[in-house]
Amino acid sequence: MKNYSNAIIFGLAIIISSFFLGKAFTDRNKKDGEIEVTGLGTTDFSSDLIVWEGHFGSVNTDLRQAYLSLEQKKATINEYLTKKGIKTGEIIYSAVATNQKTKQLYNASGEYAGEEFVGYELSQSIEIKSKEVDKIEKVSREITELLNQGVEFYSQAPRYYYTKLADLKIEMISKATEDARLRAENISKYSGGDLSNLESAKMGIFQITGQNSGEDYSWGGTFNTSSRDKTASITMKLVYKVD
């Protein structure tokens, strides 16, 4: 009976010591008297700069004629855009790209038999940067009207930017910091402590997503350029001393 009682006592001692050792291991990285909080700052804004790009081209067996055709199309595009109210200084043309266009030949058995020269393919890109977002957006949708003048213009989707991004970041950091501070005050209030000095502050990644787009955040930061209306957000991680 005595041996049985000793075994029970010994077993309880092992359980109790294991509990305290486990708690010590779990809490080894915790610092007494500190609160760590993360605050979020967000705001919605609308882009004030639009960048729109497109390209056009011409094909001819004679290089000179291909270039003359490209120049005629360029003049037609210039006239069209200026009539739409776009300033000449906002229109930037790239250098002309030249490519020899060929087609593959096959014999009656379906075997490859070489290539045949088709003509010279010339292309040129155009870029427009403007703060008149409504105007450029409208033109980008109407550019297919050039087909009526014999010009095939391949338009890309506009990209949207915000020129006051630096000021916006400062505003977001302030909002995120204030949000974190309020969280820390609430935690200390309901835990019976008093918030003391700020020990450290760490800024998260700045994220810009399209409004109501459902875009995911990225570890390296998301920078949406496809949406005119956007949402900016940033987090701030603060560590406070608690008395």
pLDDT tens digits, one per residue of 113-140? 888 888 999 999 999 999 999 999 999 9
What's the rounded Cα separation, in Å, for the pair 238 and 48? 33
User: Is residue 98 classed as helix, strand or coil in its secondary structure?
Assistant: strand
Cβ-count burial of 52 within 10 angstroms (0-12 exposed, 13-18 middle, 19+ buried)? buried
DSSP for 116-175 reads EEEEEEEEEEEEEEES-HHHHHHHHHHGGGGGGGT---EEPPPEEE-TTHHHHHHHHHHH
Mean pLDDT confidence for 14-33? 44
Query: Kind and range of the H or E element at 223?
Result: none
pLDDT tens digits, one per residue of 173-185? 999 999 999 999 8
Quick count: other Cβ atoms within 10 Å of Cβ 129? 16
Give the contacts of 119 (CB within 8 A, at least 6 positions apart).
59, 60, 61, 66, 101
Place of tokens 């120049």: 71
Tokens of 52: 């729109």
Q: Are 85 and 154 in contact (CB under 8 A)?
A: no
The pLDDT > 70 percentage for the chain reads 87
pLDDT tens digits, one per residue of 47-58? 999 999 999 999
pLDDT tens digits, one per residue of 157-203? 999 999 999 999 999 999 999 999 999 988 888 877 778 888 899 99
| 30 pLDDT more than 70 | no
Q: What's the pTM value of the predicted model, to 2 decimals? A: 0.76
Alpha-carbon distance values, 219 to 74, 204, 216, 223 (Å)? 43, 10, 10, 12
